[in-house]
């Protein structure tokens, strides 16, 4: 069951209160139709408020949320997702992900994936997937529910961390990749190679980094609070990089992981 995830979305990590409402409202106004949130972000209610006030039909927006680690057990997952739906003011989300693997494998991948699948069958979510899963845990998820039932694995991915082993495994398995932090906390703006390519195309470094990831087939979910940046990022969909541009950015990989909390899995 393959779900089409809009290639360019609006991430809401670190956006709080009015800032979250304003960013999502502005994004929807500009034409974003893919909004990414999570239980742990503490902004589902604000995202829901912005969605409700946007005048955009619910069916026209792809909404993702993520189940936090405390709610991964079968007896907690569904109730936590129902709570998310109340906050988001919707009857369903388009995609629900396991946000991080259960710390210390306290809850098995199979238990969480089967609970997610049951939530999908109950109509609470249209698709299910995972986030921050290395290859070993992706294998567990596939064993539990089948690759066809895993819409995406959302991982940190940008020019300086290209996650090639995970990407290759996912291509073979037929699982789509969503890249979070595609601008590497803004570090792409300071890179000479990316700046040079941007100059050639009359584009911004952010647009180049996003276009590079989208050229590889990934979905990207950059976040911004500034209207100009939200608008500019959206234009990355129209930027076509040359093969040489892509090769030059490929060469920037230095395994620079920016997100690795103490409960993170063993990365590939």
**Which residues are known binding-site members?**
99
Is residue 127 packed enough to be buried (19+ CB in 10 Å), middle (13-18) or exposed (0-12)?
buried
185 is a catalytic site residue: no
Taking the C-alpha atoms of residue 177 and residue 42, their distance in angstroms, rounded to an integer, is 24
**Hey, CA dihedral for 101, 129, 54, 219, is it positive or negative?**
positive
Taking the C-alpha atoms of residue 100 and residue 72, their distance in angstroms, rounded to an integer, is 9
Q: Tokens 């829901």 label which residue?
A: 48
Annotated binding site for substrate: 99
Active-site option among 32, 41, 180, 218: 41
Taking the C-alpha atoms of residue 253 and residue 156, their distance in angstroms, rounded to an integer, is 13
Taking the C-alpha atoms of residue 2 and residue 147, their distance in angstroms, rounded to an integer, is 10
Name the residue among 134, 222, 124 with its Cα closest to residue 180. 222
The set of catalytic residues is 41
């Amino acid at each position: 069951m393959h779900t089409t995830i809009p290639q360019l979305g609006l991430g809401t990590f670190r956006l709080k209160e009015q800032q979250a409402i304003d960013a999502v409202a502005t994004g929807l106004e500009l034409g974003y139709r893919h909004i990414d949130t999570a239980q742990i972000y503490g902004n589902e209610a604000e995202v829901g408020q912005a969605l409700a006030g946007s005048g955009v039909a619910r069916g026209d927006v792809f909404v993702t949320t993520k189940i936090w680690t405390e709610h991964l057990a079968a007896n907690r997952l569904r109730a936590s997702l129902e709570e998310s739906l109340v906050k988001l003011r919707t009857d369903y989300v388009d995609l629900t992900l396991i946000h991080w693997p259960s710390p210390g494998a306290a809850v098995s991948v199979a238990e969480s994936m089967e609970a997610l699948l049951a939530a999908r069958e109950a109509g609470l979510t249209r698709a299910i997937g995972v986030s921050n899963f290395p290859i070993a845990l992706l294998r567990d998820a596939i064993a539990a529910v089948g690759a066809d039932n895993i819409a995406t694995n959302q991982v940190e991915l940008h020019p300086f961390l290209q996650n090639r082993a995970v990407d290759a495994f996912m291509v073979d398995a037929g699982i789509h990749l969503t890249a979070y932090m595609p601008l590497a906390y803004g570090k792409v703006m300071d890179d000479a190679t990316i700046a040079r390519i941007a100059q050639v195309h009359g584009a911004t470094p952010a647009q180049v980094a996003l276009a590079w990831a989208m050229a590889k087939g990934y979905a990207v979910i950059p976040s911004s609070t500034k209207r100009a940046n939200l608008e500019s990022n959206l234009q990355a969909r129209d930027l076509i990089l040359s093969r040489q541009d892509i090769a030059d950015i490929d060469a920037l990989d230095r395994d620079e992981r920016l997100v690795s909390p103490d409960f993170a899995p063993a990365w590939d």
